[in-house]
Amino acid sequence: MRVEVINTGTELLLGQVTNTHVGYFGGELLALGLRIGRQTTVPDGDAIRTVLEEAFGRSDVVLVTGGLGPTPDDITRELCAELLGLELCEDEAITAAIRERVERGGRPMREVNRRQAMVPRGAEVLTNPHGTAPGLYFPAGLVGGSPHLFLLPGPPRELMPMWADGVLPRLRRALASEGRLGPAVSNHFFMGLGESELAARLGEIEEGPQLELGFCLKWGGVIVRCIGEPAAVEAAAAWIRVAAPADYVGEGAGPIERAVVAVLAERGESVATAESCTGGLIACRITDVPGSSQVFGHGFVTYANEAKRDVLGVGEDLLAEHGAVSEPVVRAMAEGALSRSGAHHALAVSGIAGPGGGTPEKPVGTVWIGLASRGGETLAVLKHFPTDRAHFKERTANAALDLLRRRLAQTER
């Protein structure tokens, strides 16, 4: 099944808004065994007409984002109706829903909002509980050989729920009814190995017509992607799972914090954080995971030495003798966080993000990571991430979470 994505909006081409849709669609479609064959971004206006005409003749599924709002530059709905020769009719239920949403915010509904309630005959409405722009679905063959056509709102907070509730079920039905079930897909996430070393360890897996193997750097690690016949994919997955067990995070393509939260929740354990150079990023990433409240209760941001002393109980003598970025201090930070939080584990980080502040002994990019656990030895690991501040913080957070993951794997019950 040939899939094409069309993103509309001048703001995408001016850099005012980052286009994240193709990445989201790619991952969601891959789970169905589908791939995006073409992606185009066009400005608002008549350029949309040209790319739609081209897509209608070459694709089985066309996903269009943007251009469903109430303003004059939002013309995706009108252009699709015109190209398919379909009459636009006002849907009174949509008008009422828009009116209720707008007036609930204390504003009067304006006549221009009625444009969003115009529905081409034969199209199905995709409800939007997070905005005023409903989506639209045009079944394949609605007019001649027209493709499955989905018109979706631009904002991700509106698009993603609509995708889950409105698009995915229709795509699954279309695949089943047309006998186009895609290949099996599995993803496997590793941390601590580079692509080349991992590829060498997986060298016994043979690619061919039944199996495609791919590697992708993401989330601070490497994702190994298997696509093909179900039996071939499962055989490859069985080998991949044991190829580097200490570095194997698990199946899926999500960030490491998801795996850490899942294991902690399964074990009924918790983690606290004590952060200096990352400024709370580790706690932020943990709490981005749904259900993290089961495993996370305390996060200490102790950027200044005084905070390390007053909040975590790090001794003045340690700070004076060794400095904040040192093994003794990060051990004391982790143990202080463990004691004060009552958690089962505590992660601590202290480093030099730069661009200034480095010395020959402790250059920019130096970071110490500590891990204290109830009844276990406190660990301290030295890492060097000589990069810009943002990437330094991300890599430090990844390394800290991976340190905890490895301890949990070693002490599995």
Going by C-beta distance under 8 Å and a sequence separation of 6 or more, which residues neighbour residue 56? 62, 83, 146, 147
Same domain, 241 and 369: no
DSSP 281-343: HHHHHHHTSTTGGGTEEEEEE--SHHHHHHHH---HHHHHHH-SSSHHHHHHHHHHHHHHH--
Same domain, 307 and 393: yes
Beta pairing class for 124-126 and 135-138: antiparallel
Q: 58 vs 64, 151, 378, CA distance in Å?
A: 15, 18, 60
Q: What is the pLDDT of residue 152?
A: 97
pLDDT in tens, 335-367: 999 999 999 999 999 999 999 999 999 999 999
Same domain, 263 and 245: no
Looking at the structure of the chain, the number of domains it has is 3
Same domain, 206 and 234: yes
Q: What is d(CA 22, CA 40) in angstroms, rounded to the nearest whole number?
A: 10
Same domain, 158 and 193: no
Same domain, 214 and 78: no
Q: What is the pLDDT of residue 181?
A: 64
Phi-psi region of 403 (alpha: psi -120 to 50; beta: other; left: phi over 0): alpha
CATH code for the domain in which residue 332 is found: 3.90.950.20
The structure's pTM equals: 0.75
Domain final residue, candidates 177, 200, 227: 177
Domain final residue, candidates 193, 227, 251: 251
Q: Which residues of the chain have pLDDT under 50?
A: 413
Same domain, 238 and 351: no
CATH code for the domain in which residue 223 is found: 3.30.70.2860
Same domain, 267 and 298: yes
Same domain, 265 and 319: yes
pLDDT in tens, 140-167: 999 988 999 999 999 999 999 999 999 9
Q: 328 vs 274, 350, 369, CA distance in Å?
A: 14, 11, 11
Domain final residue, candidates 177, 203, 237: 177
Same domain, 235 and 360: no
What HEC string does 160-228 produce? HHHHHHHHHHHHHHHHHHCCCCCCEEEEEEECCCCHHHHHHHCCCCCCECCEEEEEEEECCEEEEEEEE
* Full residue range of the structural domain in which residue 32 is found: 3-177
Q: What is the pLDDT of residue 177?
A: 83
Q: What is the pLDDT of residue 219?
A: 77
Q: What is d(CA 309, CA 323) in angstroms, rounded to the nearest whole number?
A: 12
CATH code for the domain in which residue 153 is found: 3.40.980.10
Q: What is the dihedral of CA 70, 66, 81, 62, to 10 degrees?
A: -170
pLDDT in tens, 164-219: 999 999 999 988 887 766 678 889 999 998 899 999 988 878 778 889 898 988 87
Same domain, 245 and 365: no
Same domain, 199 and 117: no
Q: What is d(CA 149, CA 63) in angstroms, rounded to the nearest whole number?
A: 6
